[in-house]
Amino acid sequence: MAILGSIIKRTIDIRGKIPHWKNPYKLQVKQLRKLITKAQNTAFGQHYKFDRILLEKDIIKVYQSTVKTHDYSSIYKEWWHRSLKGEAYVCWPEQIKYFALSSGTSEASSKYIPVTAAMLKNFKKGSIRQMIAMAHYDLPKEHFQKGMLALGGSTALDFNGTYFEGDLSGITAANIPVWFQHFYKPGKKISKYKDWDTKITEIVKSAKDWDIGIIVGVPAWIQILLEKIIEYYKVKTIHDVWPNLRIYVHAGVSIAPYMKSISKLTAFPLIFSDTYLASEGLIAFQERPNAEQGMRMLLDAGIFYEFVPFNESNFDGDGNMRDKVEALTIKDVEEGKEYALLLSSCSGAWRYLIGDVVKFTSIEHCEIVITGRTKHFLSLCGEHLSVENMSKAVSLTAEELGVDINEFAVAGIPHGTLFAHHWYIGSNAPVSAEALREKIDNRLKEINDDYRVERTSALKDVIVTVLPDEAFIDFLASKGKLGSANKFPRVMKGKQLEEWQEFIKKYKK
């Protein structure tokens, strides 16, 4: 295995030094042309006359003027429901074999996201590029013979006679290359477990038998797993069990609120590497070691991107996209501005609103950060508060007060004839709600000018409720959303907020 580690290390070093960047816009034009060419004989392609679009010189302009935008509800109602019934050649030229179940953090019921053979191929392509990016981390060759633990969904997918369904992590794990299976943990047997508590228990019991170098997963669940391993083996840190653990590849939510808690579980700092992995595709990954630089977009991996300025012209107050929007290409975006993403992909998504809002940190490197979701911005009266703002304020407050805050959620509520924000803060440390209120409020005033202005007018109050960390996990459990990619929503509205408020009333008794 030392020889294999040396070969992989050498390959990554060589590939990492080869200039691979091309003109981003040309890459994207090529991607769109390939997608339209491939799908021109599908029901969707025939409806929108893809064959005619291919004859046009300015293919992007004609595509945008011909094909309407979709959110999940519209594309499912008009097209994807046919694929679920087993019909082939609906939005992509094949019968869809896999559907990823994704409830996200803003929808009550599960979404069925098609995952095609072409998309699985591009998932692998992107993952290999992420491995190649490790050339920038100057890791020893021994690292590349260590195991990788991916804390994901069950690979025992449900089959209804037409298609398989399950978490995306379970679908991709069930399709990992043969050569990689030796490195992949928790292995075939444990990966099949559907009960989350059983899976965690079996991973903990097996942990001492593995030499793990990389861990992958959503921060909240990774933290819980590491804590359980440390407790089970009665050791001080996770490095007493996995001395060669070096890298944590995280996704789903901002890592900032969890870094302090996770650092307490390690003997030395881990390398944190961010990934933008959605059920709709592998969109970006952190190529350069500095976390502040953002994630580099994959522009030639089966997805064509459009960027819709996240403003009142394109979205209403509830985060719903308007019928006619301004959609930009990669050559038109600007650093520091927020955009909602539209995807056209090799899984049969066409001008599809994924629901995330991103901001470019580097145009030169095509690097982005996720600032929130279209429906997870708080703007009751013009405060325009993003999840990025919230996470930063919470992290700074936790550091200032010397406490750990991993979970939080915010709700906009009426305050007489005006408005207020109600924060739910998760912390097992004895901390004053009033101290949290003051610190978070002040930090947000520093971070967000719109918030500062509204706190003097329509946004009349900030309320803080402190809860144990377990309350957030227990709520997810009550909704059947334990584990894998499930994460607690940072902004709560509507029915979801009502269910949370009712849960808290009972939980506090």
Q: What is the pLDDT of residues 62-100, one digit of tens each?
A: 999 999 999 999 999 999 999 999 999 999 999 999 999
Cα–Cα distance for residue pair 422/427, rounded to 1 Å = 16
pLDDT of 378 = 81
Burial letters 164-197, b for 16+ CB under 10 A, else e: bbbbbbbbbbbebeeeeeebbbbbeebbbbeebe
Question: pLDDT-based confidence at 107, cuts 50/70/90?
Answer: very low
249 - beta bridge partners? 216, 273
**381 close to 455: Cβ distance less than 8 angstroms:** no
357 - beta bridge partners? 372
**366 close to 297: Cβ distance less than 8 angstroms:** yes
Least confident of 49-63, 212-226, 252-266: 252-266
pLDDT of 177 = 65
Domain 387-507 has CATH 1.10.3470: no
pLDDT for residue 12 is more than 80? no
Question: pLDDT-based confidence at 106, cuts 50/70/90?
Answer: very low
Burial letters 143-161, b for 16+ CB under 10 A, else e: bbbbbbbbbbbbbebeeee
pLDDT of 15 = 52
Give every strand in the sheet of 98-102, ordered side by side.
111-115, 98-102, 164-166, 158-159
pLDDT for residue 210 is more than 70? yes
pLDDT of 179 = 57
Estimate to the nearest angstrom the gap between the alpha carbon of 200 and the chain centroid. Answer: 21
pLDDT for residue 346 is more than 90? yes
**CA angle centred on 153, ends 152 and 159, rounded to 5°:** 155
Question: pLDDT-based confidence at 7, cuts 50/70/90?
Answer: very low
Q: Which residue from 500, 252, 220 is spatially nearest to 373, judged by alpha carbons? A: 252
Residue with the bigger pLDDT between 112 and 130: it is 112
**173 close to 124: Cβ distance less than 8 angstroms:** no
pLDDT for residue 258 is more than 60? yes
In the chain, what percentage of residues exceed pLDDT 70? 91
Which tens digit of pLDDT belongs to each residue from 441-462?
999 999 998 899 889 888 999 9
pLDDT of 290 = 60
Q: Which residue from 291, 285, 287, 213 is spatially nearest to 246, judged by alpha carbons? A: 213
> What's 131's DSSP letter?
H
In the chain, what percentage of residues exceed pLDDT 90? 52
Cα–Cα distance for residue pair 119/165, rounded to 1 Å = 15
Q: How many CB atoms lie within 10 A of CB 89?
A: 18
- Over residues 311-326, the mean pLDDT reads 86
- Over residues 275-299, the mean pLDDT reads 85
pLDDT for residue 291 is more than 60? no
The count of C-alpha atoms lying within 13 angstroms of the C-alpha of 468, restricted to the half-sphere facing its C-beta, is 6
Cα–Cα distance for residue pair 328/160, rounded to 1 Å = 40
What are the residues whose beta carbons fall under 8 Å from the beta carbon of 198, sequence distance 6 or more? none
Q: Which residue from 346, 359, 357 is spatially nearest to 295, judged by alpha carbons? A: 359
pLDDT for residue 486 is more than 80? no
Residue with tokens 């009751």: 380
pLDDT of 417 = 86
Mean pLDDT of the chain: 87
Phi and psi angles of residue 92, each rounded to the nearest 5 degrees, phi first: -145, 145
Q: What share of the chain is helix, strand, coil (3-state, %, to 5)?
A: 40, 25, 35
Which tens digit of pLDDT belongs to each residue from 386-412?
888 998 999 999 999 999 888 999 999
pLDDT of 120 = 92
pLDDT of 484 = 60
Estimate to the nearest angstrom the gap between the alpha carbon of 311 and the chain centroid. Answer: 22
Here the tokens at position 91 are 């939005």
Burial of 450 (0-12, 13-18, 19+ CB in 10 A): middle
- Over residues 182-195, the mean pLDDT reads 86
Cα–Cα distance for residue pair 175/124, rounded to 1 Å = 9
What are the residues whose beta carbons fall under 8 Å from the beta carbon of 21, sequence distance 6 or more? none
pLDDT for residue 240 is more than 70? yes
Phi and psi angles of residue 423, each rounded to the nearest 5 degrees, phi first: -95, 135
Residue with the bigger pLDDT between 260 and 367: it is 367
Cα dihedral across residues 484, 488, 494, 498: positive or negative: positive
pLDDT for residue 5 is more than 50? no
Question: pLDDT-based confidence at 196, cuts 50/70/90?
Answer: confident
What are the residues whose beta carbons fall under 8 Å from the beta carbon of 390, sequence distance 6 or more? 408, 410, 444, 490, 491
pLDDT for residue 18 is more than 70? no
pLDDT for residue 250 is more than 90? no
DSSP string, 175-200: T--GGGTTTEESHHHHHT---HHHHH
Which alpha helices (H) appear in 20-133, and where do they start and end? 24-39, 43-47, 50-53, 59-66, 72-75, 81-84, 117-132
In SS3 terms, 358-398 reads as: EEEEECCCCEEEEEEECCCCECCCCCCECHHHHHHHHHHHH
